[in-house]
Protein backbone atom coordinates (compact mmCIF):
# COMPACT_ATOMS: atom_id res chain seq x y z
CA UNK A 1 0.00 0.00 0.00
CA UNK A 2 1.21 3.48 -0.89
CA UNK A 3 -0.29 5.82 1.68
CA UNK A 4 1.52 8.84 0.19
CA UNK A 5 2.95 11.84 2.02
CA UNK A 6 -0.30 13.77 2.42
CA UNK A 7 -3.78 12.61 3.33
CA UNK A 8 -7.02 14.03 4.69
CA UNK A 9 -8.71 13.30 8.04
CA UNK A 10 -12.27 14.17 8.88
CA UNK A 11 -15.38 13.30 10.88
CA UNK A 12 -18.03 12.55 8.26
CA UNK A 13 -20.74 11.91 10.86
CA UNK A 14 -22.49 15.23 10.22
CA UNK A 15 -22.84 14.39 6.52
CA UNK A 16 -25.59 12.15 5.10
CA UNK A 17 -24.10 9.04 3.51
CA UNK A 18 -24.39 10.36 -0.04
CA UNK A 19 -22.63 13.60 0.93
CA UNK A 20 -19.85 11.68 2.68
CA UNK A 21 -19.32 9.66 -0.51
CA UNK A 22 -19.16 12.88 -2.57
CA UNK A 23 -16.59 14.24 -0.14
CA UNK A 24 -14.43 11.12 -0.52
CA UNK A 25 -14.62 11.45 -4.31
CA UNK A 26 -13.42 15.08 -4.08
CA UNK A 27 -10.52 14.02 -1.83
CA UNK A 28 -9.60 11.39 -4.40
CA UNK A 29 -9.83 13.83 -7.30
CA UNK A 30 -7.57 16.27 -5.52
CA UNK A 31 -4.89 13.61 -5.43
CA UNK A 32 -4.81 12.78 -1.74
CA UNK A 33 -3.65 9.24 -1.15
CA UNK A 34 -5.66 8.44 1.96
CA UNK A 35 -8.80 9.58 3.76
CA UNK A 36 -8.88 8.89 7.49
CA UNK A 37 -12.14 8.56 9.41
CA UNK A 38 -12.60 8.14 13.17
CA UNK A 39 -14.72 5.94 15.37
CA UNK A 40 -16.21 7.56 18.44
CA UNK A 41 -19.95 7.68 19.11
CA UNK A 42 -21.17 8.07 15.55
CA UNK A 43 -20.85 5.78 12.54
CA UNK A 44 -19.31 2.34 12.96
CA UNK A 45 -15.88 2.40 11.38
CA UNK A 46 -15.96 -0.70 9.16
CA UNK A 47 -19.36 -0.12 7.59
CA UNK A 48 -18.49 3.55 7.03
CA UNK A 49 -15.19 2.54 5.43
CA UNK A 50 -16.95 0.03 3.20
CA UNK A 51 -19.29 2.74 1.90
CA UNK A 52 -16.44 5.13 1.10
CA UNK A 53 -14.34 2.40 -0.54
CA UNK A 54 -17.28 1.38 -2.70
CA UNK A 55 -17.70 4.95 -3.92
CA UNK A 56 -14.03 5.59 -4.80
CA UNK A 57 -11.57 3.95 -7.15
CA UNK A 58 -8.02 4.63 -5.95
CA UNK A 59 -8.35 6.35 -2.56
CA UNK A 60 -7.17 4.48 0.53
CA UNK A 61 -9.58 4.61 3.46
CA UNK A 62 -8.03 4.46 6.92
CA UNK A 63 -9.56 4.25 10.38
CA UNK A 64 -8.20 6.72 12.85
CA UNK A 65 -8.95 4.85 14.99
CA UNK A 66 -11.10 1.73 15.27
CA UNK A 67 -11.61 1.10 18.97
CA UNK A 68 -10.27 -2.26 20.16
CA UNK A 69 -12.95 -2.35 22.85
CA UNK A 70 -15.70 -2.11 20.21
CA UNK A 71 -15.09 -5.59 18.75
CA UNK A 72 -13.06 -8.65 19.66
CA UNK A 73 -9.80 -9.42 17.89
CA UNK A 74 -11.28 -12.11 15.62
CA UNK A 75 -13.96 -9.72 14.38
CA UNK A 76 -11.42 -6.92 13.91
CA UNK A 77 -9.17 -9.19 11.84
CA UNK A 78 -12.10 -10.46 9.78
CA UNK A 79 -13.34 -6.95 9.11
CA UNK A 80 -9.87 -5.81 8.08
CA UNK A 81 -9.37 -8.69 5.66
CA UNK A 82 -12.88 -8.37 4.25
CA UNK A 83 -12.43 -4.69 3.41
CA UNK A 84 -8.89 -5.19 2.10
CA UNK A 85 -10.05 -7.95 -0.27
CA UNK A 86 -13.16 -6.08 -1.41
CA UNK A 87 -11.22 -2.90 -2.17
CA UNK A 88 -8.15 -4.41 -3.79
CA UNK A 89 -5.91 -3.47 -0.88
CA UNK A 90 -7.14 0.09 -0.20
CA UNK A 91 -8.06 -0.32 3.47
CA UNK A 92 -5.66 0.74 6.23
CA UNK A 93 -6.69 -0.36 9.71
CA UNK A 94 -5.80 2.04 12.47
CA UNK A 95 -6.64 0.69 15.92
CA UNK A 96 -6.29 2.08 19.40
CA UNK A 97 -7.22 1.78 23.05
CA UNK A 98 -9.09 5.10 23.09
CA UNK A 99 -9.52 6.74 26.53
CA UNK A 100 -10.73 5.57 29.91
CA UNK A 101 -13.86 7.80 30.02
CA UNK A 102 -14.98 6.49 26.62
CA UNK A 103 -14.11 2.86 27.27
CA UNK A 104 -15.51 2.63 30.80
CA UNK A 105 -18.09 5.40 30.84
CA UNK A 106 -19.58 4.92 27.36
CA UNK A 107 -18.84 1.28 26.50
CA UNK A 108 -18.84 -0.24 29.97
CA UNK A 109 -15.52 -2.07 29.63
CA UNK A 110 -12.58 -2.17 32.02
CA UNK A 111 -9.67 0.05 30.98
CA UNK A 112 -7.00 -1.97 32.75
CA UNK A 113 -3.42 -2.15 31.46
CA UNK A 114 -4.11 -0.84 27.94
CA UNK A 115 -0.58 -1.61 26.69
CA UNK A 116 -0.88 -5.27 27.73
CA UNK A 117 -4.38 -5.39 26.30
CA UNK A 118 -3.11 -4.10 22.94
CA UNK A 119 -0.21 -6.55 22.81
CA UNK A 120 -2.52 -9.49 23.53
CA UNK A 121 -5.13 -8.17 21.10
CA UNK A 122 -2.61 -8.00 18.23
CA UNK A 123 -1.50 -11.57 18.96
CA UNK A 124 -5.11 -12.73 18.80
CA UNK A 125 -5.62 -10.86 15.52
CA UNK A 126 -2.55 -12.55 14.09
CA UNK A 127 -3.85 -16.03 14.97
CA UNK A 128 -7.52 -15.38 14.16
CA UNK A 129 -9.14 -17.88 11.75
CA UNK A 130 -10.48 -16.54 8.44
CA UNK A 131 -12.16 -18.95 6.03
CA UNK A 132 -13.27 -16.47 3.35
CA UNK A 133 -11.28 -15.32 0.30
CA UNK A 134 -8.27 -13.50 1.69
CA UNK A 135 -6.71 -10.31 0.33
CA UNK A 136 -3.73 -10.77 -1.97
CA UNK A 137 -1.37 -9.20 0.57
CA UNK A 138 -1.45 -9.01 4.35
CA UNK A 139 -3.19 -5.69 5.04
CA UNK A 140 -1.37 -3.15 7.22
CA UNK A 141 -2.19 -2.02 10.74
CA UNK A 142 -1.16 1.14 12.56
CA UNK A 143 -1.77 1.99 16.22
CA UNK A 144 -3.12 5.27 17.53
CA UNK A 145 -0.08 5.77 19.76
CA UNK A 146 1.16 8.75 21.77
CA UNK A 147 3.33 7.51 24.61
CA UNK A 148 6.74 5.77 24.45
CA UNK A 149 5.72 2.18 25.18
CA UNK A 150 2.78 2.21 22.77
CA UNK A 151 4.91 3.88 20.08
CA UNK A 152 7.55 1.17 20.48
CA UNK A 153 4.87 -1.52 20.36
CA UNK A 154 3.49 -0.07 17.14
CA UNK A 155 6.91 -0.35 15.52
CA UNK A 156 7.46 -3.84 16.90
CA UNK A 157 4.14 -5.49 15.97
CA UNK A 158 2.49 -3.31 13.29
CA UNK A 159 3.40 -1.11 10.35
CA UNK A 160 3.56 1.96 12.57
CA UNK A 161 1.67 4.66 14.44
CA UNK A 162 -1.05 7.24 13.91
CA UNK A 163 -0.54 9.99 16.52
CA UNK A 164 -3.40 12.46 16.93
CA UNK A 165 -3.44 16.00 18.36
CA UNK A 166 0.32 16.43 18.44
CA UNK A 167 2.85 19.18 17.68
CA UNK A 168 5.86 18.57 15.41
CA UNK A 169 7.96 18.04 18.55
CA UNK A 170 5.98 14.90 19.21
CA UNK A 171 6.63 13.71 15.66
CA UNK A 172 10.37 13.92 16.31
CA UNK A 173 9.89 12.19 19.66
CA UNK A 174 7.80 9.43 18.06
CA UNK A 175 10.36 8.83 15.33
CA UNK A 176 13.07 8.47 17.97
CA UNK A 177 10.98 5.92 19.90
CA UNK A 178 9.96 3.93 16.81
CA UNK A 179 13.15 3.86 14.75
CA UNK A 180 13.39 4.65 11.08
CA UNK A 181 11.46 1.83 9.43
CA UNK A 182 7.97 2.09 10.91
CA UNK A 183 5.26 4.23 9.36
CA UNK A 184 4.58 7.47 11.18
CA UNK A 185 1.20 8.87 10.10
CA UNK A 186 0.56 12.14 11.94
CA UNK A 187 -2.76 13.99 12.13
CA UNK A 188 -2.69 17.80 11.87
CA UNK A 189 -5.68 20.12 12.32
CA UNK A 190 -5.66 23.11 9.98
CA UNK A 191 -7.73 26.31 9.79
CA UNK A 192 -7.44 28.64 6.81
CA UNK A 193 -7.91 31.89 8.73
CA UNK A 194 -5.43 34.71 9.37
CA UNK A 195 -7.41 36.51 12.09
CA UNK A 196 -6.01 35.10 15.37
CA UNK A 197 -9.22 35.58 17.33
CA UNK A 198 -11.41 33.82 14.76
CA UNK A 199 -8.91 31.00 14.17
CA UNK A 200 -8.32 30.32 17.85
CA UNK A 201 -12.03 30.43 18.66
CA UNK A 202 -12.71 27.80 16.02
CA UNK A 203 -9.79 25.73 17.29
CA UNK A 204 -11.01 25.89 20.89
CA UNK A 205 -14.41 24.67 19.84
CA UNK A 206 -12.83 21.72 18.06
CA UNK A 207 -10.42 20.87 20.89
CA UNK A 208 -12.79 21.12 23.84
CA UNK A 209 -13.62 17.41 24.02
CA UNK A 210 -10.02 16.30 23.46
CA UNK A 211 -8.35 18.44 26.10
CA UNK A 212 -10.51 16.83 28.78
CA UNK A 213 -9.17 13.35 27.96
CA UNK A 214 -6.27 12.09 30.10
CA UNK A 215 -4.15 10.53 27.35
CA UNK A 216 -4.00 13.78 25.37
CA UNK A 217 -3.37 15.88 28.46
CA UNK A 218 -0.52 13.63 29.58
CA UNK A 219 1.07 13.74 26.16
CA UNK A 220 0.84 17.52 25.77
CA UNK A 221 2.34 18.01 29.23
CA UNK A 222 5.37 16.15 27.93
CA UNK A 223 5.90 19.07 25.56
CA UNK A 224 5.64 21.89 28.07
CA UNK A 225 1.91 22.36 28.58
CA UNK A 226 0.50 22.91 32.07
CA UNK A 227 -2.92 22.10 33.49
CA UNK A 228 -3.73 25.80 33.16
CA UNK A 229 -2.83 25.65 29.46
CA UNK A 230 -5.07 22.64 28.94
CA UNK A 231 -8.12 23.86 30.87
CA UNK A 232 -10.96 26.05 29.59
CA UNK A 233 -10.59 25.08 25.96
CA UNK A 234 -6.84 25.54 25.84
CA UNK A 235 -4.49 28.50 26.07
CA UNK A 236 -3.12 30.22 22.97
CA UNK A 237 0.06 28.21 23.56
CA UNK A 238 -1.82 24.90 23.25
CA UNK A 239 -3.94 26.05 20.32
CA UNK A 240 -0.96 27.24 18.33
CA UNK A 241 1.00 24.06 19.07
CA UNK A 242 -1.56 21.57 17.77
CA UNK A 243 -3.64 23.58 15.26
CA UNK A 244 -2.03 25.08 12.17
CA UNK A 245 -3.89 28.29 11.33
CA UNK A 246 -3.16 31.20 9.05
CA UNK A 247 -2.69 31.46 5.32
CA UNK A 248 -1.78 28.66 2.94
CA UNK A 249 1.94 29.28 3.46
CA UNK A 250 1.70 28.97 7.25
CA UNK A 251 -0.25 25.72 6.98
CA UNK A 252 2.19 24.31 4.43
CA UNK A 253 5.07 25.15 6.76
CA UNK A 254 3.45 23.19 9.60
CA UNK A 255 2.95 20.17 7.36
CA UNK A 256 6.59 20.44 6.31
CA UNK A 257 7.64 20.66 9.96
CA UNK A 258 6.05 17.27 10.63
CA UNK A 259 7.73 15.74 7.59
CA UNK A 260 11.08 17.25 8.58
CA UNK A 261 10.60 15.79 12.09
CA UNK A 262 10.17 12.29 10.70
CA UNK A 263 6.56 11.83 9.58
CA UNK A 264 6.09 9.62 6.54
CA UNK A 265 2.50 10.76 6.12
CA UNK A 266 0.60 13.79 7.41
CA UNK A 267 -3.20 13.76 7.29
CA UNK A 268 -4.74 17.21 7.55
CA UNK A 269 -8.06 17.80 9.29
CA UNK A 270 -9.61 20.82 7.51
CA UNK A 271 -11.61 22.66 10.17
CA UNK A 272 -13.83 25.57 9.15
CA UNK A 273 -13.25 29.02 10.70
CA UNK A 274 -16.98 29.35 11.39
CA UNK A 275 -16.94 26.16 13.45
CA UNK A 276 -19.51 24.28 11.35
CA UNK A 277 -18.93 20.48 11.29
CA UNK A 278 -18.10 20.37 7.59
CA UNK A 279 -14.70 20.18 5.87
CA UNK A 280 -13.17 23.38 4.56
CA UNK A 281 -12.81 22.58 0.87
CA UNK A 282 -10.66 25.70 0.32
CA UNK A 283 -7.64 24.43 2.20
CA UNK A 284 -8.04 20.88 0.92
CA UNK A 285 -7.97 22.20 -2.63
CA UNK A 286 -5.07 24.55 -1.90
CA UNK A 287 -2.93 21.78 -0.39
CA UNK A 288 -4.08 19.16 -2.91
CA UNK A 289 -1.24 17.01 -4.29
CA UNK A 290 -2.89 17.27 -7.73
CA UNK A 291 -2.46 21.06 -7.59
CA UNK A 292 1.08 21.21 -6.19
Query: Would 254 be classed as within a structural domain?
Result: yes
pLDDT reported for residue 107: 82
The mean per-residue pLDDT over the stretch 158-184 comes to: 98
Domain that holds residue 169: 6-291
By mean pLDDT, which of 71-80, 109-118, 133-142, 186-195 is the weakest? 109-118
Establish if 244 belongs to a structural domain: yes
Number of structural domains found in the chain: 1
The answer to the question of residue 249 being in a domain is: yes
Residue 231 is assigned to a structural domain of this protein: yes
Note the pTM of the prediction, 2 decimals: 0.96
CATH number at residue 270: 3.20.20.30
- 12-24 pLDDT, tens digit per residue, is 999 999 999 999 9
Is 84 inside any structural domain? yes
Mean pLDDT, rounded, for 126-152: 97
Secondary structure, 3-state, the chain: CCCCCEEEECCCCCCCHHHHHHHHHHHHHCCCCEEEECCCCCCCHHHHHHHHHHCCCCCEEEECCEECCCCCHHHHHHHHHHHHHHHCCCEEEEEECCCHHHHHHHCCCCCCCHHHHHHHHHHHHHHCCCCCCCCCCCCCEEECCCCHHHHHHHHHHCCEECCCCCCHHHHHHHHHHHCCCCEEEEEEEEEECCCHHHHHHHHHHHHCCCCCCHHHHHHHHCCCCCHHHHCCCCCHHHHHHHEEEECHHHHHHHHHHHHHHCCCEEEEEEECCCCCCCCCHHHHHHHCHHHC
| In a domain? residue 194 | yes
Does 1 fall in a domain? no
Asked if residue 148 belongs to a domain, the reply is yes
Average pLDDT over every residue of 130-139: 97
Question: Percentage of the chain surpassing pLDDT 90?
Answer: 93
Amino acid sequence: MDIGKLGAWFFCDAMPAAEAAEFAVKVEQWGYSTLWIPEAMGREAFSASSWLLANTKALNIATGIANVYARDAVTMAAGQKTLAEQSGGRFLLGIGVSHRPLVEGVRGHSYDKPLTFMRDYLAKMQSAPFSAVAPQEQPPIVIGALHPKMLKLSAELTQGAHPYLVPPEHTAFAREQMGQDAWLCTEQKVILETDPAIARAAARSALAMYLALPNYRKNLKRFGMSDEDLDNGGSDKVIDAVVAWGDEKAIAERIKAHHDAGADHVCIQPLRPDGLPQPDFRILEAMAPANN
